Amino acid sequence: MNTMKKRIDIIDTQPEAYKAMSAMENYLKASQLTLNHKELIKIRASQLNVFAFCINMHPLDARKAGETEQRIYLLNAWKETDFFTDEEKAILALTEVVSLIQNHVSDETYQRAAEQFDETYLALIIMAIVTINSWNKLAATAQKALQK
């Protein structure tokens, strides 16, 4: 018998914090970050966080935006394929390091991304990575309370 108590409902308990998180998501939606880049970040971070809800949702969104089945299927093996551009590989490398961060992002990984993008776009990439990781971790902790 499962005796675990119901988890906290962040939306009801901390509506202003939830609004702040949503504001960041809305900011990124309106930014110059391409839809393709946003979805690659969201899918890959969600895979790394093993968050099933987002692993299901973001490929659906990516397909609607024109992403191919083949690239979605190969995303978890992006290093082993030529289906991703150098820009996308830099984004995926940074997504992996930030999502799995233990101590710091290596100079090599950061520089690889910095060589592909100007500072403004790189800042948006970093914010998109941090934001999806925050959503994944918040929802995983509150267990579906955010999936209303």
Portion of the chain with pLDDT greater than 70, in percent: 93
CA distances from 42 to 37, 89, 114 (A): 9, 14, 20
Contacts of 115 (CB under 8 A, 6+ apart): 90
33-142 folds as: AhpD-like (1.20.1290)
Q: Are 11 and 146 in contact (CB under 8 A)?
A: yes
- Of the pLDDT bands very low, low, confident and very high (cuts 50, 70, 90), residue 4 is low
Q: Are 37 and 128 in contact (CB under 8 A)?
A: yes
Q: Are 133 and 99 in contact (CB under 8 A)?
A: yes
Q: So where are the chain's domains?
A: 33-142
Average pLDDT of the residues in 72-91: 96
Q: Exposed (0-12), middle (13-18) or buried (19+): which is 115, by Cβ within 10 Å? A: exposed
The pLDDT assigned to 145 comes to 45
